[in-house]
Amino acid sequence: MTFFQYHAGELHAEHVPVSQIAKQFGTPAYVYSRAAIEHQWHSLDTAFGDYPHTICYAVKANSNIAVLNLLAQMGSGFDIVSEGELRRVLLAGGDPRKVVFSGVAKSTGELEFAMRNKVRSINIESVAELHRVQAVAASLDVVAAIAIRVNPNVDPETHPYISTGMDKAKFGVTMEAAFEAYQLAAKMPNIEVHGIACHIGSQITKTSPFTDALSIVLDMVKRLRDVGIQIQQLDLGGGLGINYHGETPPSAQEYVDGMLASVREHGVDLPIAIEPGRYIVGNSGIMLTQVEYLKHNQSKRFAIVDAGMNDLLRPALYQAYHEIIPVAEQSTSPIEQYDVVGPVCESADVLGYDRELSVKSGDLLAVCSAGAYGHVMSNQYNSRPKPPELMVDGDQVHVIRRRETHDELTLAESLLP
């Protein structure tokens, strides 16, 4: 993570000492780097060269409106999965004409909101949804642009919870069902067949799953052409992985080059949309936490910190690995093996097992690669307020979401009369 580095023995976020951030804003806290986010987005945009493309950032990865605004300023589109995410995009100044609406359970109200705001495309995930989109569009007297999310049954070789392109997944429709659905859509008066969509999973660290899936999608495009259905855009989803713990995912250029080679090989010259999320923000953020206690028993040593699974759910949910590093590089404490655990009353509340650390009570730790699926998945379990989100920009730190207060936790609740 080149935007989080040690200088003079102390971890910095860009030009700001991380200990200074902790002193000013407390812990736990999420800290993002503006420069890192911009660098990652531009690396994908540049990789396409002059090939027509749209980068639709996956809002679910990190939906803070300051993050979305930063991306909108760069010209990004957005991939959303709910009305709430679309509302965030609009608040952040995003262009709805660059929004694709994914998700398997879009309600009538959500579809109405998306159509009134003229999103670029609604990605259909079932025949039942196709009928609902037609009905909603007819009720509003509009024509809805759609893509059908096809399921190519390609194994992304990732965690099963984030694998979305296999036959057993709830997402998308099979290739044969999609072929029939496209023919049905083409006959619907309030439907415009705009594109074809495919997203096979997340944290993918090889190019072959992407190109294998794309080959199947491109064959479908040609098959649709043969029956008079012209696809206008390829929505190839996201899923490009990052380095959490020694992974070597493809570079942005390798990832894009693989897609473009497949497109040219199949002779399908269509604009491409991609939906990166983790790749842009994952390594652009850390979570700061402080050691409260050290605890030893006969078989284990524990570093008990003030951040828990409610603040960062991924280790408990996915058994995900996040590197945990000291904010101060040098310490007089001996190096020991610790389980880094939080205050939540669950045995699953472990941020990292068997970590070699030199720590004492009061020391600060940084949980790395926490910019994606970190704060956005946080919750208030055990009545714990959510941590703040902070954006570092050079030598400045901006509060982009303040820390919740205990009083706010009960604002939506009431006593019985």
Q: The domain spanning residue 172 has which CATH number? A: 3.20.20.10
Give the pLDDT of residue 168: 66
**Final residue of a structural domain among 234, 249, 279:** 279
Mean pLDDT, the chain, as a whole number?
94
Pair (179, 245) in one structural domain:
yes
Give the pLDDT of residue 253: 97
Q: Is 343 annotated as a binding residue?
A: no
**Residue 417 within a domain:** no
Output the CA–CA distances (angstroms, integers) from residue 261 to 55, 210, 223, 265, in the order listed.
Answer: 18, 12, 20, 6
368 flagged as catalytic: no
Catalytic residue among 56, 198, 345, 368: 345
**Final residue of a structural domain among 279, 307, 334:** 279
**Residue 415 within a domain:** no
Give the pLDDT of residue 153: 80
pLDDT per residue over 157-178, tens digit each?
544 544 444 456 788 899 999 9
Cis status of the peptide bond prior to 28, with omega within 30 of 0: yes
**Final residue of a structural domain among 260, 279, 298:** 279
Pair (19, 50) in one structural domain:
no
User: 384: domain range?
Assistant: 4-32+282-410
Pair (167, 269) in one structural domain:
yes
Give the pLDDT of residue 163: 44
Q: What sign does the CA torsion over 231, 233, 237, 241 have?
A: positive
Structure tokens that stand for 374 in this block:
């970190």
The values of phi and psi at residue 43, to 5°, are -65, -40
* Number of independent structural domains in the chain: 2
Pair (52, 155) in one structural domain:
yes
Radius of gyration of the chain (CA): 23
**Residue 416 within a domain:** no
Q: Is 278 annotated as a binding residue?
A: yes
Q: Average the pLDDT over 225-250 and give the result.
A: 95
Q: Average the pLDDT over 244-248 and give the result.
A: 93
pLDDT per residue over 94-119, tens digit each?
999 999 999 999 999 999 999 999 99
Q: Is 373 annotated as a binding residue?
A: yes
What does the chain come to in residues? Answer: 417
Pair (8, 43) in one structural domain:
no
In degrees, to the nearest 5, what angle opens at C-alpha 74 toward C-alphas 72 and 78?
A: 40
Give the pLDDT of residue 156: 54
Pair (286, 272) in one structural domain:
no
Q: How is 87-109 classified by DSSP, letter by letter? A: HHHHHTT--GGGEEE--S---HH
Separation between Cα atoms, residue 14 and residue 11, nearest integer Å: 9
Separation between Cα atoms, residue 351 and residue 19, nearest integer Å: 20
User: Is residue 323 within 8 Å of residue 368, measured between CB atoms?
Assistant: yes
Q: Average the pLDDT over 273-280 and give the result.
A: 97
Pair (238, 166) in one structural domain:
yes
3-class state of residue 272 by DSSP: strand
H or E segment to which residue 262 belongs: helix 252-266
DSSP 193: E
User: Is residue 31 within 8 Å of residue 13, measured between CB atoms?
Assistant: yes
Q: Name every residue whose Cβ is closer than 8 Å to that of residue 34 and which is 6 or more positions away in sequence.
A: 14, 70, 391, 392, 393, 394
Say yes or no to pLDDT of 1 above 90.
Answer: no
Q: Is 318 annotated as a binding residue?
A: yes
Q: Is 346 annotated as a binding residue?
A: yes
Report the CATH number at residue 12.
Answer: 2.40.37.10
| pLDDT band at residue 392 using 50, 70 and 90 as cut-offs | very high
Q: Average the pLDDT over 386-402 and give the result.
A: 98
Tell the residue number behind the tokens 């399921």, with chain if given.
151
Pair (119, 261) in one structural domain:
yes
Helix axes 108-116, 83-91, angle to 10 degrees: 30
Pair (241, 95) in one structural domain:
yes
Pair (262, 326) in one structural domain:
no
Pair (133, 247) in one structural domain:
yes
Give the pLDDT of residue 170: 82
Give the pLDDT of residue 298: 84
Separation between Cα atoms, residue 129 and residue 176, nearest integer Å: 17
Say yes or no to pLDDT of 389 above 60.
Answer: yes
Q: Average the pLDDT over 308-337 and give the result.
A: 94
